[in-house]
Structure 1
Amino acid sequence: MNRLAGLLWPFALVATAFSIGVSAVTAPTDDSALRIVSPAKSPSDPRAYRYITLPNQMRVLLVSDPNTEQAAASMQVAVGSAADPEGREGLAHFLEHMLFLGTEKYPEPDSYQQFISKSGGSHNAYTSLDHTNYFFTIRPEHLPQAIARFAEFFKAPLFSADYVARERAAVNAEYLAKIQDDGRRANAVLTQVSNPAHPSARFSVGNLDTLADRKDDSVRDALLAFYAEHYSANRMALVVLGRESLDDLQTQVVNHYGGVPNHDRAPQQNDAPLFLPDQLPREIVYQPLKQLRELRLMFPVPASGTYFREKPLTQLANMLGHEGRNSLLSALKREGLAEALWAGESDMGPYGSTFVISVSLTEKGQAQRARTRQWIFAAIELIRQQGLEAWRFEELKQLAEINFRFQDVRNPSSLVQGLASAMHRYPPHEVLRAPYLYDEFDAGLLAMYLKYLTPENALSLVSAADGQFDQRAPLYGTPYKVLTPKPFKPLPKNLLTQIKLPAPNPFIPSRLQVREVADQGQFPELMINEPALRMWFKQDEIFRLPRSVIRVQLRSPAAANGLQGRVQADLYAAMVLDELNEYSYPAFLAGLGFDIRATARGFDITVAGYNDRQGLLLTEILEALISPRLEPARFANIRAEIMRRTENGDRQPPYIQLIRQLVPTMYQPAWTAEELVEAMANTGLADVKRFSRSFVYGSQVDMFAYGNLLPAEARQLATLVGQQLVRGAPKPLPGQLKLLTPTWGGYERQVDVKHDDHALVMYHQALDDSDAARAHLMVLAQSIRAPFFNSLRTEQQLGYVVFAGQMPVADFPGLVLVVQSPSASAPQLRAAFEDFIDNMPSWLADDLPAQRAAVMAELEQKPRNLAEQASRYWDDIAAAGPGGKVDFVRRQRLLKALSDVNAVTLRTFAYQVFDPQRRLLLGTETTVKAPEPVVRINDVHAFKAQGPHYFVP
């Protein structure tokens, strides 16, 4: 399991367009009319914060960061799908779509998107049960105009009749695009087995039926009524982050958002319980489309939001979801019942809460899920008996205080979204600190919540591919059945000693001093340069936190030995990760993570986090990598799990399946999912054991250490790596990494997908990988992104998934056009793509200065945290290849190339790149008919065997 997570989604409107709300007004700017609070913040957070409440009762959090490379804003409205009127399911979601399609002040439907795109930003929104969130990022100099445009969403949207009809089709396309998503299919079953009076028991996405015009009831009228009823300033929380001072941000926000009408709407609430008394206990078995084996126990509990200072459910989740030695998961693995386990709260805001325990089952566990439940309730009983101890709370408090003190600077988009949500949950002074607060241990509160975690209060949701199902969830067609569980029998007492609650965490960092920076150059230094081991080092002088990142790349002749070598390396990495899981889980909780990943040439190893005990963890990782246990029972389950995940790729949305075929179609060595699964099925434990004895011989190692380390410490780590991973003189790797470079004919490959939607991916590769080609392709991708979306999505309504952008393969520059459609066939999509390309010369480069500036601004962005900086340095090292000279100024060269892009060169480049003879089409059906010149790809490997190729370092 990856333990790095967390350490390191011109057109004139008709004259009769109708607007609602009020016109923009100038709000009072007298600070005495505002309620102002300064939230408590982390000592390492360089940003300044101000929480204000406007006279219209809108809550606003201002964030000033003079050094930010991106400005951002998020508006969270405390109304979501729970407020959908009866018979108008999906209306809140539909309204979210419509707000982007024109306001009274900015009526063009693509005006907002075009502005955000050419200003170097991005935007999106989502609708939840209890809230709707709108957000954007933008280059800082454009924030004032973005704030003004964004404000109009909440004052005077148009809801133009023309686009109501069109966007309804987009919502329906979104519903159809995800109709085979097993998460939504499982949720559709839950809506059928929960209390009909509870908001979560309703369809929330919307489709052509729920959003249809009816006699004396147009959906546009319903939108107007919903907006007028629910979009009130007192239900809104706005976060704005920019370079301006807090005073300047405040002036802008007051002027533009003070005029948002306040209808003084009461908070949304619903007292209906999630389940009725006769609905629990129940076992619900449903049939997934993917190969899923999951047991999900759901316990309705009182919402814990008011207990954010005590965090009772977090404490319970920590004990039940722990993955260390003698944990619940360990016991389930020993019996061969499970591969993974997760526990935590599912918070529905004002509509209640559930505590969820989710277990990824093995085939044996699927058949013996009653046994799995026995183990779960045994662990819960153990907590009742031994878990109500103050020291456990104090340990969580200590870790939270360290993490709050040494916070990384979060990226602007996630920061503003998270804070807008927090403003609805926490008091103003604690809006930044609340997730880290552990103020008071309350054993009685824990005991109260434990009373809800009983077999009698549980709904069991089970996924099973086989079986008899007598019911079917409407809209998603999920087969399911409802069972009454047999009386619960506790686990035999003689087995109870096999599980224990977590011991004190030995990895909690105690040495948190930030070292003095020694004299050093601008870029990492090649500190060790030997035939089999190279090591670069750089001490961090920017972020000044007690963390570091260690990267190791092992190139192994055994791992590079074709399909068998790749499969053996995948299995080997998974076995080592599994073995290390129990040992490393406490380190993960203490902010120290790692990962081992098999590649086409060997292994990539990463260790990141607090540097206090990194050497200890790295030592354990290397020992496990060299001498793993490789137990037969675990091997069988791990191989089955990898094969299951690989095979589930053919249940991804069609456009993702097509994109995933780009690499195996063009790159060597790379194989299809079917080839990987077949090879894995034919690989036994004996094969992996042979691999374990040979993979280090003749290997080459590149290493990079960056952060709060001294040069001597970096050398010690390199010595440790060399002693374990270097055996004998380095040997050349078999084969050559190479990428097909189409220069003639054009190609097409049909990919069969198990989905009713059609999809098409059109890939165009640059002529070469020069800085000039990369620069022109970046500007071209930036220039066509918004027009492509507006044309094929907003105007033509070809589908919900529509995008264009860069997509390098093996770092060779390329560009894709992508659409997934419920109605248009692949040939029709191809015609739409070509029509877009044919019309491009009439407008391409019209906004060149703005588009080029947007690309340059993104490239000039400084890393926000230590992990991002480490990744940039490592990318430069990896790009050089074995023995190559590292180029740490690639970005600077690319910026120079970008400054040379002009209208003539961009149009010439676009003409060359979009030449049909340089095209690769991946479609759910064939798009080309004779006598069009095209090479149909039937045999991928035979296709790749022909040249020419670009040889990858």
Structure 2
Amino acid sequence: MPTKTDPPVQLTLPNGLRVALLHDPALVQAAAVVRVAAGGHDAPVEYPGLAHFLEHLLFLDSAAFPADQGLMAYVQRCAGQVNASTRERDSYYFFEVPVSDLDGGLARLCDMLAHPRLALEAQLREREVLEAEFQARSRDTDTLCDAALARVMQPSDHPFLGFHAGHRGTLPVEQAAFQNALAGFHQRFYQAGQMLLVLAGPQPLERLRELAELYGGRLPAGTYVPQSVPPVLRLPASTGLRVEAQPGRLSLYGLFDDLPDTAGEALDFLGECLAREEPGGLSEWLSTQAGCDSLRLRVPYRYAGQAVVAVEFGLGEAGEANAGACVSAFFDWLDFFAAADWGDLRCEHARSVAMRERVSPPLARARAWAERSGPRDDGVEGGGLSESGLLALRAILTQLRRQQRVELLTVAAVSSAPADRGFPVKAEQASLLPGVQGQCGPWRLPPANPFLALPGAPSGQQMAVPEAFHWKECNPSFPGQAAVFLRWRFPEQPAGDELRHALAAALQPVVQAARQAAVDVRLDGQGGDWVLSLCGLALSQPAILGAALKCLSAPSADAWARGIQRRDAERRRAAGELLIRRLLKELANAFGAPTEADAIDAGAWQDALARCWRTACWDGLALGYAGADRQRLEQVLPQVPGEPSRAAAQAPIPEARYSWRDAAIPTGECGLMLFCPLPDAGAETEAAWRLLGRCLEPAFYRRLRSELQLGYAIFSGFRSVGRSRGLLFAVQSPSATAAQILSHIEAFLDDQAAVLSTLEETALREMGADLAGRLSRFPSLRAAAEWHWQAHLEQVSVDHLERLCGALRTLDRSTLLAHHQALREAQGGWRVLANAAPVDSRWQ
């Protein structure tokens, strides 16, 4: 059974920088996080959003690195991850890259934090990006609900009740006073004494320490500047609020004071217990008895012992009618839970935390440590609910049950005028929801999770494995981890999407229990097929797969109703998501022949499912299995419903050269995705297009986001979409039309021909060799598994990866330019998904 990783080594550099070093030889990537003890609430009140604005500016030119050589471009070239976040009292800057690239990333990170250029022209451009972010957040349900609390909480000058996001009107960059405030904020807080640097990777501790001292030592020396402690937040009386936002949410807000530092782990534990869907739990009761489709605990604010906690209910189709029952059930369950014995739950929680930590990438580990650490205190140890966390949990439960609360309902419309400052919140006070008399429960704590226990030895019986199931060797980079994919095809009659939602609902208890055992379980639709995937620790996967297959073969009788409920809930939640995310989710199934299934009578859905399984054929892939784990998996495979496939899947029906799908998502902004599939499956073609993706990605971001200022949700790169691979270009804009966005993308691709023609052959070979090296070192098991599964779907040769890497190392400029021309000519096709109609007659 995996154990908790060692705590980090901590030190303080002569310039005042605190450092935490997390060494784990099992990691295959490296990560860095800088936490600055200053956030939105520390900015001058005259300039809301200044802290967030500075975060954006730091990613532009710095003293040693212009923007095209800075951290963002560098990490993109490394195929890594990079981002930042400005919170109430902290700001975080972080990235994850291959181990060999940590040095270059740290150099850029520390230089941009210490020596930003802050050019006025760049500020004017970036202010428009913040304006676009503000417009998007003005439609976000979480944001609007939290902002509405200013109507009922006190004191009015508490920073939580203020506006800190920033927009065009609060950032007068042309004024000298603003420039002085910006420079002063940077000088005051962006110095070593106000920062924590966390490094995580497989490098020896001595090497991590050298990097921290070399680059962290370049930050300006300083001492910690104490942050102001806010007054106690108060709620004079329990009250109701109605907020105009995406309808169907009930939020119970509570205020807390004098909480210990371990309150975070206590809230995590409580949130997990709330969300468990086993019989006898609150979530299951709300779903079956009150029609709720979701339950979660969210913490909008926590600082200096204060916290604002929201318990949020997705009310489902019943809407407000069952809101009172939700409140009554919640407090009834809370009384039960407060009096229960949590001993077994705490032990399971500790095992689960340890197991999940073993498969966590370095960036997740580094961020978790940085977030647990106080401004001047050592980080709180992870590993479950400590004794101090237990005391914090008891205090939280006591306050939740006795204190004043806000009962907030989101509704389609309210009559009040929007707030005149900050987010345009329309809210009105209301009476508390009427209590509901009657029996809730009976309540039970969750049963023991069987997937957290050590599995028994496999039986000695040898099982014949169908040829439709394929094995890939263990990857030594991810010891103890594995993945399984199973795909069902329905050649006689497509299976209805409603059936898949019913099976997903039946799977949910297995999904939750597997997540505790560090295994991610998914059931996805893929062009009419169903795909079940498991990824994570190998130890429990055979047992998890067996439990999942039982649910799929014989789901519970109420699975249909719960599946329809979950489907409708997903649609409601999607309506509040960022447009570009909604398009990305729809992209894989937007093209190809439509799969029309027969209508299914709700009373006969189990018969329909049985017919589907009788005609289904399946194939699969396992990655990373060996020894006893492989034996256990082999013994589960006979439970797979359907017949093993004896023939390769048919190739997708070719699309028109220019295909357009209107997603019909009404919103005030325009989103467009252009996917350009590979014209053929050859290794040289894929190599050239992957290299094109590497060259175009930073230039696309710079041109459309920074120079044209089309919006802030802009990205591109080489992607897998359904059963195809190719280049994806995505833009969400608050101002441009679909025709304008597409025109900008086409102009960009045309202009890049001249840029690519200037590439030196030596530089191109180095870039290709670097990309080949990265492809042979997957950053995570998930990445490796998805690559091999995609190769299986596309039926490429077993040595495709080897030939691809070889082609990357020998690719020349003339070949790259030829493939760039093929991209511009849409030789593999162009597929557009947008929330707009086709812009001209070439699109079908």
Q: Which category of TM-score, normalised to the shorter sequence, fits these structures?
A: 0.7 to 0.9
Q: What SS does the aligned partner of 1:237 have?
A: strand
Matched, 1:770 2:682: yes
Hey, what does 2:431 align to over in structure 1? 484
The answer to whether the 8 Å contact 1:572/1:692 transfers is no
The question of whether the paired residues in 2 share the 8 Å contact of 1:666 and 1:740 is answered with no
Q: Give 2:652's aligned residue.
A: 738
Relative to structure 1, is the Cα distance of residues 87 and 108 closer, same or farther in structure 2, using a 3 angstrom cutoff?
A: same
Residues 353 and 384 of structure 2 are in contact (CA less than 8 Å); yes or no, is this contact kept in structure 1? Answer: no
Distance 2:544 2:175 in 1: 68
Displacement of 1:575: 4.5
Of 314, 335, 343, 1:360 maps to: 314
Matches within 5 A, 1:168-207: 168-195=127-154, 196-207=156-167
What does residue 789 of structure 1 align with? 701
* Alpha-carbon distance in 2 for matches of 1:323, 1:783: 47
CA contact (8 A) 2:132 2:711 kept: yes
Matched, 1:639 2:582: no
CA contact (8 A) 1:655 1:759 kept: yes
Which residue matches 2:235? 277
How far does residue 852 in structure 1 lie from its aligned partner after superposition? 2.2
Residue 628, structure 1, aligned to residue 575, structure 2: no
CA contact (8 A) 1:336 1:637 kept: no
Q: Which residue of 1 aligns with 2:466?
A: 529
Question: CA 1:838/1:598 → structure 2, altered by over 3 Å: closer, same or farther?
Answer: closer
2:362 counterpart letter in structure 1: P
Q: 2:337 aligns with which of 383, 401, 406?
A: 383
Deviates more, 1:855-864 or 1:61-70: 61-70
Residues 933-944 of structure 1 aligned to structure 2 (within 5 Å)? 934-937=841-844
Equivalent position to 2:254, from 299, 302, 308: 299
Are positions 1:717 and 2:636 aligned together?
Answer: yes
What residue is the counterpart of 1:552 in the other structure?
Answer: 486
Contact 1:177 1:800 in 2 (8 A): no
Alignment counterpart, residue 395 of structure 2, candidates 443, 448, 453 = 448
Amino acid at match of 1:464: V
Q: Residue 800 and residue 764 in structure 1: after superposition, are their counterparts in 2 closer, same or farther (change >3 A)?
A: same
Matches within 5 A, 1:297-696: 297-302=252-257, 304-307=259-262, 311-343=265-297, 348-350=302-304, 352-384=306-338, 386-387=339-340, 389=341, 392-401=342-351, 403-404=353-354, 407-424=357-374, 428=378, 434-440=381-387, 446-454=393-401, 456-465=403-412, 468-474=414-420, 475-485=422-432, 489=435, 491-492=437-438, 495-496=439-440, 498-502=441-445, 504-505=447-448, 507=450, 509-511=452-454, 528-529=465-466, 534=469, 536=471, 543-545=478-480, 549-557=483-491, 561-562=493-494, 565-577=495-507, 581=509, 588-589=515-516, 594-606=521-533, 618-631=545-558, 635-636=560-561, 638-646=563-571, 649=574, 652-656=577-581, 658-659=583-584, 662-663=587-588, 666-669=591-594, 683-696=600-613
- Match in the other structure for 1:896: 806
**1:11-58 per-position Cα deviation (integer Å, ceiling 9, x unaligned):** xxxxxxxxxxxxxxxxxxxxxxxxxxxxxxx8675x995321112221
**Residue 318 (structure 1) shift:** 4.7
- Mapped partners of 2:606, 2:447: distance in 1: 35
| Residues 352 and 517 in structure 2, CA contact (< 8 A), matched pair in contact too | no
Q: Could you tell me which residue of structure 2 aligns to residue 258 of structure 1?
A: 217
Secondary structure at 1:785's aligned position in 2?
helix
- 2:157 is paired with a residue of what secondary structure? coil
Partners of 2:614 and 2:167 in 1: how far apart? Answer: 59
- Deviation by residue 1:444-486 (Cα, 9 ceiling, x = unmatched): 6554332211365211222223x54324345543432211316
Query: Which residue does the alignment assign to 2:721?
Result: 809
Check conservation: 1:323, 1:329, Cα contact below 8 A: yes
CA RMSD of aligned residues (A): 3.9
In 2, are the aligned partners of 1:766 and 1:773 still within 8 Å (CA)? yes
Aligned residues of 1:347 and 1:354 also touching (Cα < 8 A): yes
CA displacement, residues 609-650 of structure 1 (integer Å, 9 cap, x when unaligned):
66776666555443433333434xx64454244135336646
Residues 898 and 687 of structure 1: CA distance in aligned 2, closer, same or farther (over 3 Å): farther
Q: Letter of the aligned partner of 1:686 in structure 2? A: G
Of structures 1 and 2, the larger Rg is shown by: 1
- Does the CA contact (< 8 Å) of 1:827 and 1:926 recur in 2? no
Q: In 2 relative to 1, CA 833–351 (structure 1 residues): closer, same or farther, beyond 3 Å?
A: farther
Gaps of at least 5 residues in structure 2 are none
SS in 1 for 2:250: strand
Give the equivalent residue in structure 1 for 2:712.
Answer: 800
Bigger mean CA offset, 395-404 vs 435-444: 435-444
Partner Cα separation in structure 1 for residue 389 and residue 101 of structure 2: 49
CA distance in 2, matches of 1:544, 1:66: 11
- CA distance in 2 between partners of 1:627 and 1:56 (Å): 64
Closer/same/farther in 2, CA of residues 143 and 282 from structure 1, 3 Å limit: same
CA contact (8 A) 2:661 2:832 kept: yes
TM-score by length of structure 1 reads: 0.78
Query: What residue identity is the alignment partner of 2:428?
Result: K
Is 1:821 paired with 2:733?
yes
Contact 1:329 1:341 in 2 (8 A): yes
- Is residue 763–residue 814 contact of structure 1 (8 Å, CA) maintained in 2? yes
1:204 counterpart letter in structure 2: H
- CA offsets 1:181-224 (integer angstroms, 9 cap, x no match): 3333333323444332222222232111001247653x333211
Residue 615 to residue 345, structure 1, CA distance change in 2 (3 Å): same
> 1:177 and 1:701 mapped to 2: Cα distance?
43
Q: 1:413 to 1:796 in 2, by over 3 A?
A: same
Q: CA deviation at 1:82?
A: 1.0
In structure 2, relative to structure 1, the CA distance for the partners of 1:756 and 1:597 (3 Å cut) is closer
Corresponding letter in the other structure for 1:913? L
Query: SS of the counterpart of 2:114?
Result: coil
Alignment check: 8 A CA contact 1:301 1:452 kept: yes
Q: Could you give the per-residue CA deviations for residues 916-950 of structure 1, whole angstroms, max 9, x where no partner exists?
A: 68544555556856xxxx4243xxxxxxxxxxxxx
Using the size of structure 2 for normalisation, the TM-score is 0.88
- 1:74 counterpart = 2:33: yes
Q: Which runs of 5+ in 1 are unaligned?
A: 1-6, 8-41, 519-524, 672-678, 881-885, 938-953
Q: Name the SS for the 1:472 alignment partner.
A: coil
Alpha-carbon separation, structure 1, partners of 2:181 and 2:94:
24
The superposition leaves residues 415-450 of structure 1 with CA deviations (integer Å, 9 ceiling, x where unpaired) of 33333323337954x65xx12154438876554332
* Identical columns (%): 20
2:677–2:830 Cα contact (<8 Å) kept: yes
What is the distance in 1 between the residues matched to 2:353 and 2:390? 24
| Residue aligning to 1:22 | none
SS at match of 1:452: helix
CA distance in 1, matches of 2:453, 2:831: 55
One-letter amino acid matched to 1:100: F
What is the identity, as a one-letter code, of the residue corresponding to 2:555?
A: P
- Give, in angstroms, the shift of residue 694 of structure 1: 0.9
Secondary structure at the counterpart of residue 407 of structure 2? strand
1:239–1:416 contact (8 Å) kept in structure 2: yes
Q: CA deviation at 1:895?
A: 0.8
